[in-house]
Structure 1
Amino acid sequence: MVTAAKTFSQVVTHMSIAFTVTWAMTGSAALGGVAALLEPLVNVALLPLHEHGWKRLRAAIAALQDNARTALLAERLSQTALHTVVAFGVMYAASGSLALGGMAALLEPVINVLVLPYHDRAWERLRARKARTPAQLQPA
């Protein structure tokens, strides 16, 4: 149950960031709404393909060298690049502006990188607290 709530919260957070960045750049709630809906949907559609590709690449990297950190770093950079391209594409398609697409490509992924770790830590604290609660209710 906590995992589903965390995932839902993560989607809402991502959509809120996409809306806020777009609205702040354009002043348009309509474009903000388009970005909030399209950008996460495109990412959800593309991320499984990205993860599948990286699963195969990790196996190939492991066969060549024993350096999991290099593979993880390359995967994270690739994932960031995917988010950047999607943010640009959605904003450009919605606004027709290369400048706004470029600004979205820079701001939206960076804000997600800064905000989502705090989001995940908060959910981990909640999960840990829920795990401790039954033990605390046990009679001594």
Structure 2
Amino acid sequence: MKRDLAKTLSYGFFHILVGFSIAFALTGSFAIASGIALIEPLANTVLYFFHERVWKRLGSRREAQEESPANHHNRAPA
């Protein structure tokens, strides 16, 4: 979980930096660029954290299914 949080914060920082840079280049306004750079990336950063958790959980389930004795019984011999 600590690694997920560190990745999320790192991703969020760069997302905000890029968002601000693009918005400022397009608008020339510090205030508008700041608003755009905070609202959109912060929402995506929160979404990214939960996205990572779901993928990790799906990976764990898949591994558990592949390792279950019932699944080994159904496999064809190699």
Q: TM-score, normalization: structure 2?
A: 0.61
Greater RCO (CA < 8 Å, at least 6 residues apart): 2
The match for 2:54 among 94, 116, 122 is 122
Query: Given the superposition, is the C-alpha separation of residues 127 and 104 from structure 1 closer, same or farther in structure 2, using an over 3 Å criterion?
Result: same
Query: Given the superposition, is the C-alpha separation of residues 81 and 129 from structure 1 closer, same or farther in structure 2, using an over 3 Å criterion?
Result: closer
Identity percentage of aligned residues: 28
Give the root-mean-square deviation of aligned CA atoms.
2.5
Misfit runs of 4+, over 2 Å: 79-85, 94-100
Instruction: Report the alpha carbon displacement of residue 130 of structure 1 after superposing the two structures with TM.
Output: 1.3
The residue matched to 1:138 in structure 2 has which SS? helix
Which residue of structure 2 aligns with residue 83 of structure 1? 15
Question: Highest Rg: 1 or 2?
Answer: 2
Which residue of structure 1 aligns with residue 43 of structure 2? 111
The match for 2:28 among 96, 109, 123 is 96
Letter in 2 for 1:103: G
Which residues of structure 2 form unaligned runs of 5+?
1-5
